[in-house]
Structures are given as structure tokens and as C-alpha cells.
Amino acid sequence: MGRASNRKKARRQAEHRSAQASQSSPHEAAAQQAMLQLGDGAQALGQEMETPREQQADACLAWCGGEQPVAAEEPRWPGGSLGERLCTSTFLARARNAPCLLTADVPDVTVIIADPAHWSVAASVLVRAVVFDGMRVDHPVVSMLLDVLAPIAEAELAHGEAVEAWVNQFAFEEEEDQPYFPELDGPVFLLSTCALMDATRAVVGTDPLREIQAVLLPVLDGAIPGLDGQAVTDALIGAFATFNRCEQPGDADVLARIKRPDSGDALEHLVAIGLVSPRDVLRVGLTVLSALAELCKSGSASILQRVA
């Protein structure tokens, strides 16, 4: 329960619709100050004034100078193709309509960190940048926004641990409130359980997992220097299997071999097993997403045919 059940619940909802700074950078110092504003009172006030969807719409307008964002251009992919599956998936389709990072009026760091609606917009902006606008993860503007979100990602991961501790200690004591964090706006959740899940689903299609792994491994093995491509591939496939039926020949053997993320969150799993630091988790996730998106830019129905 705890962290895992919260993530699964959040994923189902999404399908249908703190950092400590011992060596403070400017972003970290701003994060520490702004995160203090996310108390229960601020949460309640925000809920009274606007719904989360309305808050995100207002935040999105702020990134575009008050105008509606222009959707990223994308080729017309054949029905059932890799490209079509990628572009029409739930979260990635929304991210295509996010503000373009190259032309956006990026709000001040303190504004982004203090408002979960801006976290959500920022995550979508980053996804659009690497999936649809062809920007590299090491682009200065992408790196800048990743640095802004890094303390929030650390707080998000720390919250998962706090929830587990709460479940173990206070689950049956009604007077104790569960630790609060706006999970559905968390950048780790949005990048991993939403964007990476969409991209992985597009890659897998209806193919056997063993054959998919054989294609992914050499791609992901070199995507991030020093990071084990096999571990990343296993984390993606394990998370995919949490939310999808895997019944092709050999799938059961693949799933029996790998350690599947309890929460269905590949990035959270890589942090939990010590392969990725909380501060680097978004950068790693965006790099993996970029690699998966490139594989999916094809009119082929299968990634196996694409590379044959």
C-alpha cells in the first residue's frame, strides 16, 4: 500500500482525464523558500478558488503571454503505426499542445516552484520540447528548466517515503492526517508514470517483450553514460506490465526475470535501487523519453519492422 497504491490510483485518474540544500544554488534557495508556501491552508484556498484544470489553464496562458499555445507540428502517421500511437497517447497528445519552450515566457523560478499548476505546465513543456520540437536534453533552456524542477522532484520522492512512514505509523489513527503533496502535478509522476508510460506503450505495441527488450537495450545502453541500459529497459518493461496485459509468447519468462516496480513508476524504481539520484531523476527520464520518441517516429506498425 502507501506509495505504491497512491501511484496506481493517480495513474488511473490520469488515464481518464523537499529538497534540503546544504549547498544552496539560487534555484535550491528559491525552492526552499517557495515550498514553504505549500501548506494545507494554501491547498484549501486554491481548491475553493479554482479547480486544478482551471489553475493549469491559467498557468499555461502565463507561459504564452496570455495567448493560447500553438500545437507542435507533427507528420500524419498511418493508423496503427508507431508514430500514430505516440502522438495520440493520452499524456503526450496533451503535451503536444503545451507552450513551446523556445518561444515561451518562462515564469520566474519562485513562481514555478510555489505553484503546482506551473509544475504541471513545466513538465508538459519539457516533454513537448524533446518529443515534438526536436530539442536535446542538454539544450541550455531545457537544462535550465530541469534545474528549476529538480528540487520539486526531490520533494516528490521524499513525500513517497513520508507516506510509507505514515501508513506504517498512523494508518489506523484518524487524528493523524496523511502527508500532503499534489501528486498529480508532480514532475516525476508526469514524466515517468504518464509520458514514459505512453512512449513505452507505443514502442511495445503488440510485440513480445523479449523482442522489444532486444531492440531497446542497445539504444538505452548508450543514452546516458554510466547508467546500465539493461536496468533502464527492465524498469520500463516492468512498469509497463503493471498497467498492461502481457500475454505474448515468452512474456511471462521476461517478467519473472526482472524486478518489477511496485508502483508502476520506472524512474522512482531506478532511484529506489540506487542507480539514479533524486536530483538527476528528471534529466534521466527526459533523456530516456527522447530516445523512445525517436524510435517511434516511423510509419511502421512495429518497432521490430522499423529496425529490420
* DSSP codes of every residue in 195-211: IIHHHHHHHHTTS-HHH
Question: Is the model's pLDDT at 51 over the cut of 90?
Answer: no
Comparison of pLDDT for 1 and 24, the residue scoring more: 24
pLDDT level of residue 14 (50, 70, 90 thresholds): very low
Q: Average pLDDT, stretch 119-135?
A: 97
Short-list 187, 245, 238, 249, CA closest to 216 = 238
The amino acid that residue 178 corresponds to is: Q
Contact 120, 264 (CB under 8 A): no
Helix, strand, or coil (residue 19): coil
Q: Where is pLDDT greater, at 29 or 200? A: 200
Mean pLDDT of 10-18: 42
Report whether pLDDT(164) > 80. no
Cα(250)–Cα(209) distance, integer angstroms:
7
What are the angstrom distances between the C-alpha of 15 and each of 11, 70, 116, 195?
Answer: 6, 24, 19, 11
Neighbours of 219 (CB within 10 A): 19
Band of residue 53 on the pLDDT scale cut at 50, 70, 90 = confident
More confident call, 254 vs 306: 254
Burial annotation 147-182 (CB, 10 A radius, 16+ → b, else e): bbbbbbbbbbbbbbebbbebbeeeeeeeeeeeeebb
Confidence at 50, pLDDT banded by 50, 70, 90: low
Mean pLDDT of 88-106: 96
Which has more confidence, 46 or 149? 149
Per DSSP, the residues of 253-301 read HHHHHS---TTS-HHHHHHHTTSS-GGGHHHHHHHHHHHHHHHH-SS-S
Distance between CA 38 and CA 117 in Å, rounded?
Answer: 12
Residue 39: the pLDDT is 44
pLDDT (mean) for 46-68 = 81
pLDDT of residue 169: 53
Q: What is the pLDDT of residue 260?
A: 67
The predicted structure's pLDDT at residue 264: 79
User: Quick check: 48 pLDDT over 50?
Assistant: no
In angstroms, the first-to-last Cα distance of the chain is 42
Mean pLDDT of the region 54-69? 92
Average pLDDT, the chain: 82
Per-residue confidence (pLDDT) for residue 5, from 0 to 100: 45
* Structure-model confidence comparison of residues 300 and 161, the more confident one: 300
Q: How confident is the model at residue 126 (pLDDT cuts 50, 70, 90)?
A: very high
The per-residue pLDDT for 261 is 61
CA atoms of 11 and 184, how far apart (whole Å) = 9
Higher-pLDDT residue of 20, 136: 136
CA 143 to chain centroid: 16
How sure is the predictor about 15, in pLDDT bands with cuts at 50, 70 and 90? very low
Q: With a cut of 70, say whether residue 4 has pLDDT above it.
A: no
Give the residue-averaged pLDDT of 208-230: 92
